[in-house]
């Protein structure tokens, strides 16, 4: 199971998301963000990354060199210990993997800083290319449509490892997830939540195929997601898995 201890965890705060970094897997345990209607679109596309300020610093990242930025991706200077390196990704194609955003770039078009920070390597996981461009992206789009409909939602996403031993890539031994989870909470009117688990493979299904309760995701990950809710509301919404309520 993808359970981790606090000794493995470092919390990193970004403009648009909060990230729990795992020093063992070299990946996030989870990334959480508040997606509002206003943040579902904007003028700053991923094609402009890196965005620089007038002093030549990458906005929200700081000074960059060939060692800290490669194309649109940034090494994360805030992590403690060894992290992902650009060279680790050279073997990803051998597994049909590419850079899978946890907090999507398209949720960060409203800000140059937010867009830059969405390309930090700590926000990336090795993700099957077809999943990344297929069903995972379909859920990202659905989340933006829900944020536009309700005004705001809360999202947490991350990797799943079913065993203590797992595949790795690169000299840094970057973990290669078995699956990915996403949980979504809406507190407008009648609170509701949904969970999803996607195998890290290139299959294609309707989004309803991946739905489960938030409770089920918590059992797999060991993460208590919405503990700030009143206990009775938390218990009710985390049992639900009804896509029709959305």
Give tens-digit pLDDT for 25-39.
999 999 999 999 999
Task: Tell whether 125 is covered by a domain.
Answer: yes
Confidence of residue 5 (pLDDT cuts 50, 70, 90): confident
Which residues fall within 8 angstroms of residue 174, CB to CB, at 6 or more apart? 25, 26, 27, 84, 88, 126, 168
- pTM for the predicted model, two decimal places: 0.95
Distance CA 133, CA 152 (A): 24
Residue pair 106/118 in contact by the 8 Å Cβ criterion: no
Task: Tell whether 1 is covered by a domain.
Answer: no
Residue pair 83/105 in contact by the 8 Å Cβ criterion: no
Q: Rounded mean pLDDT of 144-152? A: 98
Number of structural domains (the chain) is: 1
Task: Assign residue 69 the CATH number of its domain.
Answer: 3.40.570.10
Task: Tell whether 110 is covered by a domain.
Answer: yes
Domain assignment of residue 38, given as a range: 6-245
Distance CA 174, CA 176 (A): 7
Distance CA 21, CA 31 (A): 9
Hunting for tokens 């789009």 — which residue is that?
141
Average pLDDT, the chain: 95
Sign (positive or negative) of CA dihedral 75, 78, 82, 83: negative
Q: Which of 34, 20, 60 is nearest to 221 (CA)?
A: 20
| pLDDT per position as a tens digit, 87-125 | 999 999 999 999 999 999 999 999 999 999 999 999 999
Distance CA 73, CA 209 (A): 32
| pLDDT per position as a tens digit, 193-243 | 999 999 999 989 999 999 999 999 999 999 999 999 999 989 999 998 999
Which residues fall within 8 angstroms of residue 179, CB to CB, at 6 or more apart? 159, 160, 162, 197, 198, 199, 200
CA angle, 77 then 78 then 82, to 5°: 70
Neighbouring C-beta atoms of residue 26, cutoff 10 Å:
24
Residue pair 84/138 in contact by the 8 Å Cβ criterion: no
Confidence of residue 3 (pLDDT cuts 50, 70, 90): low
């Amino acid at each position: 199971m993808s359970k981790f201890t606090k000794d493995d965890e470092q919390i990193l705060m970004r403009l648009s998301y909060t990230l729990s970094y795992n020093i063992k897997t070299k990946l996030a345990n989870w990334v959480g963000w508040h997606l509002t209607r206003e943040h579902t679109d904007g003028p700053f596309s991923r094609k402009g990354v890196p965005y620089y300020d007038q002093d030549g610093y990458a906005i929200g990242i700081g000074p960059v060199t060939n060692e800290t930025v490669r194309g649109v991706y940034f090494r994360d200077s805030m992590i403690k210990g060894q992290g992902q390196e650009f060279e680790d990704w050279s073997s990803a194609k051998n597994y049909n993997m590419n850079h899978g955003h946890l907090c999507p770039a398209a949720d960060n078009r409203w800000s140059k800083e937010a867009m830059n920070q969405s390309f930090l390597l700590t926000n990336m996981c090795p993700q099957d290319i077809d999943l990344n461009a297929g069903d995972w992206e379909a859920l990202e789009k659905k989340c933006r449509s829900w944020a536009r409909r309700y005004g705001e939602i809360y999202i947490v996403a991350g990797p799943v490892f079913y065993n203590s031993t797992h595949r790795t890539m690169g000299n840094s031994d970057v973990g290669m997830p078995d699956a990915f989870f996403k949980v979504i909470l809406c507190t407008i009117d009648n609170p509701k939540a949904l969970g999803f688990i996607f195998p890290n493979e290139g299959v294609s299904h309707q989004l309803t195929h991946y739905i489960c309760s938030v409770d089920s995701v918590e059992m797999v990950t060991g993460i208590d997601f919405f503990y700030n809710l009143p206990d009775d509301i938390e218990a009710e919404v985390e049992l639900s898995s009804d896509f029709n309520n959305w």
